[in-house]
Amino acid sequence: MSERNELDVEESKKKIASVIPYYPFKGIDKFYDITGFLSRPDVFQLVIDLMTHRYRSMNIDAIGGIDARGFVLGPPVALALKIPFFMLRKKGKLPNSVTGASYTKEYAGSDSLCVSRGVLKPKSRVLLVDDLLATGGTFIAAIELLKSLDIVIAECACVVELKNLNGRQKFDKSGHSDVPIWSLIDETLLTLNGLADPEVAKNYVDDGAPH
């Protein structure tokens, strides 16, 4: 990549980060909300373009989106690469599916992922996509489910990586150091406090379920 293109990528990352706000949410000091770039078609397109550029030459057979924001990010990249997309859903949400082991969610509680039976051929090379890597539990659950089906995980991709939570170390400790992780931006670029806007702060309601 030329020096000019590298500069363009860095400027694109800053532009993406500039529209992703964070909010206090169910005991989490900074919950990053990707609605910020989804509501901006020009910035959303930047995200998809950067991901597509990265994976165009990596011989990916299919893209797996992790429930639920991976369902937003994965399909446009799969369409751009002209490869299949499949869903990794929460337990009980797919017919004729294979369910993985229970895992501890990023912030509270536990869950399981499932994938449609027969959606992938053995030895397929897949890219796993989610919006964010925090502690790594959800990605690891997806990796273990697919590895049990003899699927090769080419890489895990996310828009935001919270490096202070050491998700990469959890990959290593769980025996998945063979799976690369790619993130577009990390918390060092994410400085937009959603409550800095007085109108937002005045009407803000922390009404979500625990994560």
Provide DSSP, 25-87: ETTEEEEE-THHHHT-HHHHHHHHHHHHHHHTTS---EEEEETTTHHHHHHHHHHHHT--EEE
- Range of weakest confidence among 37-41, 69-73, 101-105, 202-206: 101-105
pLDDT band at 104 (very low <50, low <70, confident <90, very high): confident
Quote the mean pLDDT of the chain. 93
Q: Is 89 labeled as catalytic in the residue annotation?
A: no
pLDDT of residue 106: 66
- Rounded distance, CA 112 to CA 123, Å? 23
CA distances 115 to 30, 90, 112, Å, are 31, 9, 10
Exposure string over 41-80, b if 16+ CB within 10 A, otherwise e: eebbebbeebbeeebeeeebbbbbbbbebbbebbbbbbee
pLDDT band at 210 (very low <50, low <70, confident <90, very high): low
Peptide bond into 196 cis (omega under 30): no
**Whether the predicted pLDDT of 146 surpasses 90:** yes
Considering the candidates 106, 125, 168, 199, report the single residue annotated as catalytic. Answer: 106
Average pLDDT rounded to a whole number, residues 50-68: 97
**Whether the predicted pLDDT of 125 surpasses 90:** yes
pLDDT of residue 196: 97
Burial class (CB in 10 A: 0-12, 13-18, 19+), 194: buried
Q: Is 69 labeled as catalytic in the residue annotation?
A: yes
Considering the candidates 56, 69, 144, 155, report the single residue annotated as catalytic. Answer: 69
**Whether the predicted pLDDT of 4 surpasses 50:** no
Provide, rounded to the nearest whole percent, the portion of the chain with pLDDT above 90: 88
Average pLDDT rounded to a whole number, residues 47-53: 96
